Structure 1
Amino acid sequence: MDRYPDKFDPQVMASAAFQRSHTGWLGLRYSDHGEDWVELELPWRADLLGDERRPVLASGPIISLVDMASGMAIWTAAGTFVQIATLDLRVDYNRPAREHASVFGRVRCYRRTRSAIFVNGIAHDGDIDDPIAHVAGVFMVIRPTKGDVRWKAS
């Protein structure tokens, strides 16, 4: 079986990868995607609260959500899995999430070069016109081994 399928599919990736590791523990779920963007869901859970007096998801899990959505948006835009590392991920909060609400991370890959990839997006709790936060990130491409021609800058 070919180790790298013809086209990266974020829904297939989520069904396999989200069963284990940090994303599995957080309970991240695939929501939707387009040719250069991915949306993931972080379901509300009582053990992910930032303050026990308010039933609102903490910022740490939300940052993990948009970081994973960023990576998946990059792979979706590239059409394949490539090794990347987060260099900078800025999350500007507008407001807290609504009480008992799941949070969605919707991130778009808007530029790829030989060594860096740029993303932007939002975190929202059901209304994309009223985001919880705006996201901007830069990721580094970890060079493939000699002869691996899967990555192309756009």
Structure 2
Amino acid sequence: MKPDNRDFFPLTAFAKRFVDQLAQCRELGVNTLEASEHHVLLELPYNPQVIGYPDSGVIHGGVITTLMDTACGAAVITAIYHQSGEVELSPTLDLRVDYMKSATPEKPVFGFAECFKLSSSVAFVRAIAYQDSMDAPLAQAVGSFMRIGSELMTDEFRRVMEGN
């Protein structure tokens, strides 16, 4: 898809197609709620299968990390698409997650990520995981993602991402 067609290609649908391609996100039931040229918001529904502490019902921290890594990656690819019109994969180079408190059992967790800088070779992101309010995060993350270009992507993945 060419850059001049970007206005007709909703970024939320684009981010959803990316998230839906990831097996772990399908297994976890991750939902894409919104995306823009700067951010992505994902939802992780509560599921007893992802409990890390059976006595308390608290979600395992690795699942929260997966949510945040996915939100960050989706924010990067939507930012790249918005900027260039190119579908480009960007694997995680570095992701630091700081946990602040446990998730409340029986409630969904939201992952909000923002791509705040794109260079020619690296994208930089920040994110939070929260339940009731962004002002009371469960965890925060900062990371960097490698820009590898659109030429290394399979034609099938490109077709899926373009909605064809």
Same fold flag (TM > 0.5): yes
SS in 1 for 2:57: strand
Give, in whole Å, the separation in 1 of the partners of 2:18 and 2:140.
Answer: 28
Alignment equivalent of 2:43, drawn from 34, 41, 44: 41
From the two aligned structures, give the one with the greater helix fraction.
Answer: 2
Deviation, 1:125, is 0.9
Alignment partner, residue 26 of structure 2: 24
Change (3 A) 1:20 1:73: closer
Unaligned runs of 5+ in 2: 153-164
Verify the 8 A CA contact 2:15 2:40 in the aligned structure 1: no
Please tell me whether residue 93 in structure 1 is matched to residue 99 in structure 2. yes
Change (3 A) 1:15 1:76: closer
With 15-24 and 119-128 compared, the bigger mean Cα shift is at 15-24
Alignment partner, residue 143 of structure 2: 137
Deviation, 1:14, is 1.5
Alignment partner, residue 52 of structure 1: 54
Q: 2:28 corresponds to which letter in structure 1?
A: L
Deviation, 1:83, is 1.5
Verify the 8 A CA contact 1:39 1:107 in the aligned structure 2: yes
Verify the 8 A CA contact 2:50 2:59 in the aligned structure 1: yes
SS in 2 for 1:72: helix
Q: How many residue pairs get matched?
A: 145
With 125-134 and 72-81 compared, the bigger mean Cα shift is at 72-81
The normalised TM-score by structure 2 is 0.79
Alignment equivalent of 1:109, drawn from 111, 115, 124: 115
TM-superposition CA deviations, 1:62-120 (whole Å, max 9, x none): 11111111111112222243111101111101100112111110000000101100000
Deviation, 1:13, is 4.1
Deviation, 1:45, is 0.3
SS in 2 for 1:126: coil
Alignment partner, residue 68 of structure 1: 70
Q: 2:92 corresponds to which letter in structure 1?
A: T
Verify the 8 A CA contact 1:8 1:76 in the aligned structure 2: no
Verify the 8 A CA contact 1:33 1:39 in the aligned structure 2: yes
RMSD of equivalent CA atoms: 2.4
